Amino acid sequence: MALFLVLVLLCFTGISDVVAKPALDCAALLLLKSSITNDPIGFLTSWNKTNVNCCRGWKGVRCNKTTSRVIHLMLSNGQLSGTLHESVGSLSSLEKLDLSYNHLTGAIPSTVTKLSRLRLLDLAYNYGFQGSIPSSIGGLSSLKRIRLQSNKLTGSVPSSFGLLSSLVYAELDDNSLAGQIPNAFTRNLSNLALLDLAKNKLTGLPLNLRRLARLGILYLSSNPLTFDTIQGLSTLPFLGELHLDNCGLQGPIPPWLATLKLRDSDDFLTSMLSLSSNSISGPIPRTISSLSSVEILRLSSNKFSGAIPSSMGSMLSLKQLSLENNQLSGEIPGSLVNLDLLRWFNVSNNKLSGQIPQGGAFSTFDASCFAGNPGLCGKPLPSC
């Protein structure tokens, strides 16, 4: 049937290469449609053999005006069920492929990695793509953004991922990807700015991440990690946001964490370190103040004990400080009054005592920010 469709179109249009390639594109799209098992809203009704020119009136299809080759295939939110046919790999001029927010299942065909002009690959939120990311994914030499999140992908992140030299955004979160990120991952990702690997089963990072020179936002939350297996983070030349929530991290904060080069930039307007919902224990180290450019610091829901270090009063960029649900004791350091930019502060459910510092941003925090510390007193709590 597939060959029949191709032959029909070629006979209809002639055998000139200029004409044949657009016809092959249309035939490939009909094959794609044939793998769709349910189209409840008639999203692909316009794709039919009556209107044989797919560049005219086929929903979601855009062609180059000069060559008549298909360059965009945008089928997001179509309520489509079925699989992605391997004929997608014959759309050799394709620059954007968006099949997100559908109900597609099955494997990602390896033929998709033949699309050397592809700049956007978006298969996100189908909740059904399964199997491994194709090992030849590095063949997408023009790719700038890949969105595969919220599917059922398994296996490891392919080493060839490191060949995607044009890649800026990589969103692979909410899958079942497992194992260590391979060393080759960092080979040539010099343009990568955002990497989202959250909600997977990944166990560690390469020891050397220096080649990720533009990485600004890194999501690693909800992966089974240890401080030892992510020590490579200390080699990053720059980072705007680091999310390590709910990773099962245990033990004290290691010294290398205070050496992270966290800061904002023109591209990423917030500097953040989030370590909430782990099992980190011991005191908050005084060296945490070395992260002087951090604007949002989240250490909530851990097992921190001891005093809040007074050195945190020198973190003048802080806008949010979350320390709730720990075992911190002693007084809240008066030096925190110096944090003029602080807009969110929460130390509830600890073992703190003594007078709450007065003045500065502390005059704006309500009683809920200090609740669950029977030994605390002073505004906004009852006086001492």
What is the structure's pLDDT at 52? 81
Tokens of 173: 């979160």
In 3D, which of 79, 78, 60 has the Cα closest to residue 70?
60
1-102+113-125 and 132-235 share one CATH topology?
A: yes
Cβ-Cβ contacts under 8 Å for 48 (sequence gap 6 or more) = none
What helix, strand, coil percent values describe the chain, rounded to 5? Answer: 25, 25, 55
What mean pLDDT do residues 373-381 have? 96
Those residues whose C-beta lies under 8 Å from the C-beta of residue 374, and which sit 6 or more positions away, are none
Q: In the CATH scheme, what is the homologous superfamily, with its name and number, of domain 132-235?
A: Ribonuclease Inhibitor (3.80.10.10)
Q: What is the mean pLDDT of the chain?
A: 93
Q: In this predicted model, which residue has the larger pLDDT, 50 or 174?
A: 174
CATH class of 239-384: alpha beta
pLDDT of 15 above 70: no
pLDDT-based confidence at 51, cuts 50/70/90? confident
Whether the pLDDT of residue 166 is over 50: the answer is yes
d(CA 118, CA 111): 12
The contacts of residue 368 (CB under 8 Å, 6+ apart) are 346, 348
Confidence of residue 22 (pLDDT cuts 50, 70, 90): confident
User: pLDDT tens for residues 224-251?
Assistant: 999 999 999 999 999 999 999 999 999 9
- The pLDDT of residue 266 is 65
Q: Model confidence at 263, in pLDDT bands (50, 70, 90)?
A: confident
Q: 12-21, 34-43, 91-100, 173-182: lowest mean pLDDT where?
A: 12-21
CA distance 63 to 53: 11
Distance of alpha carbon 93 from alpha carbon 88, whole angstroms: 11
**pLDDT for position 8:** 43
3-state DSSP assignment of residue 288? helix
Reported confidence tier of residue 268, pLDDT bands at 50, 70, 90 = low
> Which tokens in the block code for residue 249?
């991290």
In this predicted structure, what is the pLDDT of residue 2? 44
Beta-carbon contacts of 59 under 8 Å, excluding residues fewer than 6 positions away, are 43, 44, 45, 46, 47, 75
Beta bridge partners of 274: 243, 298
- This prediction has a pTM of 0.93
CATH of domain 1-102+113-125: 3.80.10.10
Domain ranges of the chain: 1-102+113-125, 132-235, 239-384
